Chains A and B, each alone.
Chain A
């Protein structure tokens, strides 16, 4: 079995006296969707920031392809193929699709000091990249990003990450602000990214969405992995119960170990 693309080994993170993450062990492989579930405040955002180079772990190792990786900055993370897409897509509302797609790596034509931005090529590549993900309604690369629906923006951001060689896609609550139909679009795109062999970390608190695309699930409660299981090992009700997390840590651990048939909530 090959080494997972991204693995967290014994990660702890504290801000001063406050422990936010405690002994996190997770891994995600190529062509696999890891769903990180957890209620607000469970430490999901901190975990994302550790994986995308915004924060550094207090202790523990982040491995890529089995080798310890250093992610001192978001740039370093994206250079190593870790792309993070935030809830609102992280794109620029008043820029055209083509321009925002190629931000920082604009295609040019011409020579020397007269190099000019190649609008046609940028638009064509951007539109094709998005359409390959099944968003066929985007046809004109001159449209402004702000005029797209939330789902289309997410799709654009994901298509962009994939186009620029992302191997690990971290999606931070991509469906949280979307309606049912839009969310379905995004889930379809997550599936498409998975089919292309990307490792996807899908952060959500909507169990339905997670169950639709996830291969592997981890439930985060108060900064610790309270449950880690594969597709089909838990029912939706069980996961929701876990996330709601009324039960104490020990009761949960007991449940996971199968020592207690069912944890009672207080």
Chain B
């Protein structure tokens, strides 16, 4: 294959825009911030951000590919953190019980979200907006009721700490980075290599046709909501174990940050198009912009401007690439 056709082939992929965006951001911060942020300490700073965000962004992105949205992740992060902190910190039960409960609540909220969306046909933005506020209320209400405080301490040690809430590789990289890389590999397999992923894309492309083709669209939708809520609870749980405490506030930033990562990563907002690798790149790009600013002479306050511009540029670029992918036809005889 000639180089030009190879390049053209790569540009038609959903992650093309995300990859180019990542390169652009690397060059930008390489020029203005030096290469400090590519040294281990600098890398750890944005990898940690990317990992926590990425674990949530990928299942959220899959939901968006399937044509749905889940903003309740913003409440699930403190919910997961608070659940493990109250059960294992405040009450002093086994950390495993606290973790099981945190993930279990993730599954329950995901089930509620999914079943409501499937049964009522209310747009998932509204359903999860409702559960976002409901869960926030539960977290704040119950925490204050139980602990008389909005911050709960949690001490973890042993294998649970090492697996979920510790630093690895020289003490700067969160163990979450390894979870993120592992989960990303798993998602790539299930979404792009196994037949299962095909169903998600079909659902986002045309739900009625997908159902008529025999795809269990309802169950798959519910499963994706469970996945995103549980992933968010998982991130909250790990953060509580890492920082040895949990706060009722916080987590809302994950909503927009994850959506930005997904969109920069080339997922079509109306569903049916995108890729896990794209979301992965989008997440890294987002993390580099938010952290890279510290390595430049720019005021930190400008980073939101960069992210806003980046988002718009990414969407426009992704539209262009998608059009290229659509209009692509091999030239006659050229093989």
> CA separation between A139 and B329, bound complex, in Å?
9
Task: Give the tally of cross-chain contacts (CB within 8 A).
Answer: 83
Interface size on B, residues (CB 8 A): 29
> CA separation between A100 and B210, bound complex, in Å?
10
Confirm or deny: A99 has a beta carbon within 8 angstroms of a beta carbon on chain B.
yes
Of B19-27, B95-103, B171-179, B320-328, the segment with at least 4 beta carbons within 8 Å of chain A is B320-328
A102 nearest CB across to chain B (Å): 8
B322 nearest CB across to chain A (Å): 7
Are A99 and B198 interface neighbours, CB within 8 A?
yes
Q: Which residues of A contact B206 (CB under 8 A)?
A: 90-92
The 0/1 profile, CB within 8 Å of B marked 1, for residues 162-182 of chain A is: 000000000000000000000
Confirm or deny: A108 has a beta carbon within 8 angstroms of a beta carbon on chain B.
yes
Are A74 and B202 interface neighbours, CB within 8 A?
no
Are A103 and B210 interface neighbours, CB within 8 A?
yes
> CA separation between A99 and B193, bound complex, in Å?
12
Nearest chain-A residue to B205 (Cβ)? A92
Residue in A75, A92, A117 whose beta carbon sits within 8 Å of that of B202 in the complex? A92
- Interface SS of A by simple majority: loop
B220 nearest CB across to chain A (Å): 11
B73 nearest CB across to chain A (Å): 25
> CA separation between A147 and B12, bound complex, in Å?
12
> CA separation between A90 and B206, bound complex, in Å?
8
Residue in B198, B211, B326 whose beta carbon sits within 8 Å of that of A106 in the complex? B198
Residue in B195, B197, B328, B332 whose beta carbon sits within 8 Å of that of A143 in the complex? B328
> CA separation between A140 and B333, bound complex, in Å?
12
Beyond A115-B195, A143-B328, A147-B327, whether A104 also contacts B214 by CB under 8 A is: yes
Confirm or deny: A67 has a beta carbon within 8 angstroms of a beta carbon on chain B.
no
Q: Which residues of A contact B198 (CB under 8 A)?
A: 95, 99, 102-103, 106, 117
Are A147 and B329 interface neighbours, CB within 8 A?
yes
Confirm or deny: A146 has a beta carbon within 8 angstroms of a beta carbon on chain B.
yes
Nearest chain-B residue to A90 (Cβ)? B209
Are B273 and A94 interface neighbours, CB within 8 A?
yes
B14 nearest CB across to chain A (Å): 9
Are B272 and A115 interface neighbours, CB within 8 A?
no
> CA separation between A104 and B211, bound complex, in Å?
9
> CA separation between A102 and B210, bound complex, in Å?
11
The 0/1 profile, CB within 8 Å of B marked 1, for residues 80-113 of chain A is: 0000000000111111000110111110100000
> CA separation between A108 and B328, bound complex, in Å?
26
Q: Which residues of B contact A140 (CB under 8 A)?
A: 329-330
A164 nearest CB across to chain B (Å): 10
Q: Which residues of B contact A108 (CB under 8 A)?
A: 194-195
Residue in B197, B201, B209, B214 whose beta carbon sits within 8 Å of that of A94 in the complex? B201
Are A103 and B202 interface neighbours, CB within 8 A?
yes
Are B195 and A106 interface neighbours, CB within 8 A?
yes
Confirm or deny: B213 has a beta carbon within 8 angstroms of a beta carbon on chain A.
yes
**Which residues of A does B touch, CB under 8 Å?**
74-75, 78, 90-95, 99-100, 102-106, 108, 115-117, 137, 139-140, 143-144, 146-147
Offer 16 A-B interface pairs, CB within 8 angstroms, sorted by A: A74-B212, A90-B209, A92-B206, A92-B272, A94-B273, A94-B322, A95-B201, A102-B198, A103-B209, A103-B215, A104-B202, A104-B210, A115-B194, A116-B194, A143-B330, A147-B325
New A-B contacts (7) at CB < 8 Å, excluding given A95-B198, A103-B213, A139-B330: A74-B211, A90-B209, A94-B322, A95-B201, A106-B198, A116-B189, A143-B328
**Which residues of B does A touch, CB under 8 Å?**
189, 193-195, 197-199, 201-202, 205-206, 209-215, 268, 272-273, 322, 325-330, 332
